[in-house]
Amino acid sequence: MTQCCAVFCGVDVGKGEHHAVGLDPAGKRLFDKALPNDEARLRAVFDQLATRGPLLIVVDQPNTIGALPVTVARDCGHDVAYLPGLAMRRIADLYPGQAKTDARDAHIIADAARTMPHALRRVDTGDEALTELGVLVGFDDDLAGEATRTSNRIRGLLTGIHPALERVLGPRVAHPAVLEILSRCGGPAGIQAAGRRKLTSIAVKHAPHMGARLVEEILAALPAQTVVVPGSKAAEVVLPKLADQLKAVLQQRKTIAADIEEMLDAHPLSRVLTSMPGSSALICLARRRCDVLFAMLKSKEPYRTPAAAAP
């Protein structure tokens, strides 16, 4: 990757602007300036440096704030690599000075590319798919947090106004039947007013096997409390809205899961991913275990269970 390069361009990426340093094989500075995070300006600098010969562009962050320089460099036909953070910190200790400046970091990146090419990591095209997956997984994490907050809010309200009913509905609060009952009937008063027939109709439609049993448990819990706790009237208004919110969030998570699965199926190394038993690949993604997938994709080795991996 570095043997025939005429210019080594180190880019210390930033949110608003980057800093680029260009070195020739002898270490002479050819460029040392701040760069706005703008395609036209990045393209102009890369083209200017490329007039001297093959150009290698090295960044310290290939994703998020470093995605634009990497994409522009690729579009221009230049080689792209990145210097991992741990290697960057160790190499920086070899250079004089303690100041942490963009210009110094960019120079260290460029000089490391020139003198220590073994420290670089290639930015493979497969990383683009992982970046896309990372965006989806990050959004799914946000949705998971929102679902947890909404579930806790529903359970908190039920505990405050009718603990017996919460003991029935709380553990199943994310079940479609429970959410539909809360959405259409509200709190204890609304559920009591709905009656057995309406509750059974709602519950059996969304839970054919447990619907009737759920209604029996609800109707058994309602008489356990005869007093009306302050705040119950407001809870009757809020609970349906919270139930609708939770339904929407859970539906979004299902859609995201389908998008992740579709993206995995389209990945050239999907066989490696799907070699994991059951849906383990998706579970790893949902739990932000992307490090497992990164290792599998990089090594192109299928997942092995402990028993299969043992000699």
Q: What is the pLDDT of residues 11-20, one digit of tens each?
A: 999 888 899 9
Task: Give me the pLDDT at residue 87, please.
Answer: 85
Task: Give me the pLDDT at residue 308, please.
Answer: 47
Strands 121-122 and 79-82: antiparallel
The model's pLDDT over 128-157, given as tens digits with 9 standing for 90+, comes to 666 777 788 889 999 999 999 999 999 999
Give the residue, 86 or 294, on which the prediction is more confident: 86
Report the pLDDT averaged over residues 175-195. Answer: 95
Q: Determine the distance from the C-alpha atom of residue 248 to the mean position of all C-alpha atoms in its chain, rounded to a whole number.
A: 19
Report the pLDDT averaged over residues 249-274. Answer: 77
DSSP-based three-state secondary structure for 12: strand
295 pLDDT higher than 50: yes
Give the residue, 46 or 274, on which the prediction is more confident: 46
90 pLDDT higher than 80: yes
| Alpha helical stretches, state H, the chain | 39-50, 67-75, 85-92, 102-115, 126-161, 163-169, 176-185, 188-206, 211-221, 232-266, 270-274, 280-286, 290-299, 306-309
Whole-angstrom distance, CA of residue 113 vs CA of residue 107: 10
Give the other-Cβ count within 10 Å of 77's Cβ: 10
Task: Out of 5-19, 219-233, 264-278, pick the least confident.
Answer: 264-278
- CA 152-157-161 angle, 5° bins: 150
288 pLDDT higher than 50: no
In the block, residue with structure tokens 């447990």: 210
* Stretch (H or E) spanning 7: strand 7-12
Highest average pLDDT, of 97-111, 148-162, 278-292, comes from 148-162
| This prediction's pTM | 0.65
What rounded mean pLDDT belongs to the chain?
84
Task: Give me the pLDDT at residue 138, please.
Answer: 86
